[in-house]
Structure 1
Amino acid sequence: MHQDNSKLVPPADGPLSAQIKALRQAYVHSGGSDPGIIAQMVDLQTDAQSVEKNQATASAEARRKNPEHCILDSTREASQRGTTWELLLLEQQNQRLEEEILRIQWARERNQNYEGRHILDPVDSLGPAPYDPAAGFVIFFDLVLGVTASQKALCLVAALYSEGVEVGPQTPLPPVKCLPGVSSAYSHSLTPGNYALLSVKQPVPRVQPSSSLCLVVEMQAAHDLDVHDQDVQLTSSGWTCVELFDQYNQLHSGHWRVPVRCLPVQPSLNITQLNTIPQVGNMELCMRLVNSRDEDVQTLMEPDPSRTRHYKYLAVVG
């Protein structure tokens, strides 16, 4: 059972840094464990402490210069002496921190259940549903996991095939640099190795459903970068294939973890045959297939290499 969201709200009084600390403690005690949110709260608390220290220094300086006003608080002093640019900047920083706290609270509450009612979450909102051929679908290329240390950059080339015949132009995705793998107690990734953060979506409108229609993705890698961190030469290093529709003409809507297979590219293989091709190390493509009506909700979700357990292997139907 989820905790009451009101427990995440810190007391209204007290220094801003204390409020942020209370919010972080309440978040952890209520079961929150997202390392990104926790780290952000720690950073905000540090910023708030710095702002408060600067405010105290400014107030002390004001009292030193205006001893007759020592019994007044800093707000009245600023009002009587005229607001300086420095104090105005501090107030703006305070406002920014308060707004950031509210944003974190909203993000946390959005992913909870409240009194048994489900709040829409991009991770949970995909699944079998009627497909609209006019609107089509959207492919979210999120991550490539299990990248080897020798691969410095990746470029994916995607195309649609039907019964081994290409039915649309090949689409190269923007090249991305490969990054060190996530190594943390908070990591929820199942695949070791480095990764490439793709964060690209590709709309595919006006496509008639067919169980023979599939997405073929070729992986091209650069093993060297020049002094400007640009790839020198891309060579094909693997490929994969995803069936897009089931026997009921429904899109395979979901978060999918797709193994990358050894060359050569063979678009005519069915999924059963594809699974006999050796995998390239531990390399996997994490992607989403989404009906167009779900695009806006899914765009809210940012790929996270430390949280990939919700990507599942697509079941093979014999």
Structure 2
Amino acid sequence: MGHMPATMELSMPHTAAAAMPHAAAMPGFGIALGPLLYYWPREAVLQFYASVADAPVDRVYLGETVCTRRHEIRHAQWLEIAQMLRDAGKEVVLSTPVLVESDTDIAWMRRACEQDDYLVEANDLGAVRCRAGRPFVGGPHLNVYHADTLAWLAGLGAVGCVAPVEMDGATLAALAAARPAGTQLEAFVWGRLPLAFSARCFTARHHRLRKDSCEFRCMDYPDGLVAATGEGQAFFTLNGVQTQSATCLDLCAEALDMARMGVGMLRVSPHSTGTLAVVQQLAAIRAGQRAPAASGITPAGAEPCNGYWHGRAGIAWEAPA
């Protein structure tokens, strides 16, 4: 896997702030780093999060959400990473698996939900039930599309919710306006879109292997395995039991508009390249040092997309004005 670039926190000096009086009026937003969706070697994971500790990230989600057969980083090591990031001033959230179908999945979900040292991202209703009565963040796969659902989750303990990745801008604005008091909305703004999960492992199937004897082939694809149509168009990305977009969502140009509508946290999804550079760009936009624009960064040469935001097919790209 390619080199994980380190990054430095962007801070605006007082002289720059004085020269840019509009910066004080810029709407604020937090920058979140979503859970690592791919299977990386242990040293690559540790190196990546060591870089994250010095990055202008406010919240970091940790844990295996895709496949609990992946064992390079076990629960105790995720907790060590969590403590390191907390010591660096980051808010840490433990994420639960999305597709819970085995005893191993249930065990990871319970370990995350039954502790109170860190906030939890509940990615299925089993985790919501396990966590009920204690604070949690509703994950993007809970499919919260309207305020009644968000209010129901808030009544169970949700302090925030990640909007579904297919949500368009107008619907997100309506949800933000109607959200219960004290409930934070988070939106996915950069990375390959996590679209669906299946009991079948597509990466293993690609290699004509059984799911239970997959040889951990996911590790051969640090940003997933791109699948093309019969006409040769990149269409999906296979990531074990998860199906992602082949294109890379880029809503960096919409960051300030999202903040104005009431979205408090913007999520960047980890990839082997580009992730922390996008974080830097969002930090610069937040500080008033950079005009909102598309990041121009995609993992592994993927094309950008933002179709869902505009109410179009998700694979579409509409260049920001």
* Structure whose residues are more often strand by fraction: 1
Q: Please give the range of the TM-score, normalised by the shorter of the 2 chains.
A: under 0.3
Higher RCO, 1 vs 2 (CA within 8 Å, ≥6 residues apart): 2
Structure whose residues are more often helix by fraction: 2
The normalised TM-score by structure 2 is 0.23
